[in-house]
Structure 1
Amino acid sequence: MQLYYAPGTISIAVAIALEEAGLEYEAIKVDFASKEQQTPGYAQINPKARVPALAVEGGILTETGALLDYIADLAPQSNLRPSDPLLAARMREVMYYIASTMHVNHAHKMRGSRWASKTSSYKDMQAKVPETMAASCAYICQFGLRGPYVLGDTVSLADCYLYVVCTWLAGDGVDLTNFAKIQSFMSAMQQRASVRAVQAKGML
């Protein structure tokens, strides 16, 4: 497998999951600084001009949640997706919240052109980010983290996803001293071999 990624982006959630699952992969960096994601060559890989993209035997897969589920299917022994339907739904509840709300909140800081045509609107979007991301943190602390991890004591796909989003919080102007549960979660994740592996590769 080949994982197309950009350092510090949500694509790193897929790398962490691959490490947790013990699956071999080749990490291919997409240089956002030079706008490589917008080149015709990369458009052949992902026409959405985004990461992650995962090249597998059957073609190329995109979208973080889909790739995480694919990894869980490839490595059921990793228990990254619980077999209990309720727990699996709890896990996806957090993942879908991150995708639909928390990640979008963050994107308003740098991707204002997705939602507005006038550049004068961008600063207002940027100014709102600390507030909306803090509100997301409050939600995650109250409803998302049921222990050290999203499902309590067991690591799941949602933790790979949440960890990467939480690495953005300081840059988004969120004071983590107000969110002790997230601090504890980050500390627990940073001790994991999977996170250390992607850090060693310079992906985070």
Structure 2
Amino acid sequence: MTITLYHFPAACSRVTMNALEEIGLAYQDIAVNMRTSEQKSLDYLSINPKGKVPALDVDGRIMTENAAILWFLHTRYPDAALLPADDDPRVAHQGLIDLVWCSGTIHPMVRQIRMPAKWTTDDPAGVKVDGMEKLAQECSAIADRIGEDWWYGSRWSIIDTYIYWAYSTAAKGGFALDRYPTLLAHAERVRARPAFLRALAREQAALDGMGVADLML
């Protein structure tokens, strides 16, 4: 099997890259420079017509959308325990429910905070405020659920990496993450995972190739 991940450092493709590292798969990563709008180039649109990352090429077949890619990897490599497994499909599919929640609910709030102008042709300030308020409610609930553990209790899952990406990315847009000490501690646990560090090294190498020195966690 040949696998290629099209990504951009610190974008949501980081979650898929972390999943590949957790599984231990051999793969090639190709950075799509979103700072120069490479995702809109004809070359990249021929790979992913949606013009965004991640895109995962598995033996010549392109897969898109974080939630779908992560569910595929979980079902294909269950021993990696990206998500909980259970003989009861209603329980097993809770992982899919949570992936869709991350991508369909949390992720748009982050985009409201980081790129509010893309949501309106008017003053984007209100869009950002709305995203901040909504994410604050979600982060309070997430912090209460996680406590000193992970999303599913004592065991890490890829949901932890996804929500980490969300709140840490929102913080770069001014979201007051310091109001949630539980999430700050959760972030430290996520960043300490060997798979995360390997993905971070790949992302930094990609930035070095673009001539960009900084990589924001």
TM-score, with length taken from structure 1? 0.88
Number of equivalent positions: 201
Q: Tell me the equivalent position of 1:104.
A: 108
**Residue 69 in 1 paired to residue 71 in 2?**
yes
Q: In structure 1, what is the Cα distance between the partners aligned to 2:188 and 2:31?
A: 26
Post-superposition Cα deviations, 1:14-50, rounded to whole Å, max 9, x if no partner, equal 0001111111111110001110001111111111111
**Residue 91 in 1 paired to residue 103 in 2?**
no
Residue 203 of structure 2: SS of its match in structure 1? coil
Post-superposition Cα deviations, 1:159-198, rounded to whole Å, max 9, x if no partner, equal 2312221221321322223212212211111110011111
- Residue 37 of structure 1 aligns to which amino acid in structure 2? Q
How many percent identity over aligned positions? 27
Give the RMSD, CA atoms, in angstroms.
2.1
Cα shift at 1:68: 0.7
**Residue 41 in 1 paired to residue 43 in 2?**
yes
Q: Tell me the equivalent position of 2:13.
A: 11
Counterparts in 2 of 1:155 and 1:195: CA distance versus 1, 3 Å: same
Structure 1 residue runs of 5 or longer lacking an equivalent are: none
Q: Tell me the equivalent position of 1:153.
A: 154
Q: Tell me the equivalent position of 1:128.
A: 130
Q: In structure 2, what is the Cα distance between the partners aligned to 1:87 and 1:146?
A: 22
Q: In structure 2, what is the Cα distance between the partners aligned to 1:92 and 1:74?
A: 14
Whether the aligned pair in 2 keeps the contact of 1:91 and 1:150 (CA below 8 Å) is no
Cα shift at 1:104: 0.6
Report the more deviating stretch, 82-91 or 175-184.
82-91
Q: Tell me the equivalent position of 1:177.
A: 178
Counterparts in 2 of 1:102 and 1:2: CA distance versus 1, 3 Å: same
Structure 2 residue runs of 5 or longer lacking an equivalent are: 205-216
Whether the aligned pair in 1 keeps the contact of 2:110 and 2:167 (CA below 8 Å) is no
Q: Tell me the equivalent position of 2:28.
A: 26
Residue 148 of structure 1: SS of its match in structure 2? coil
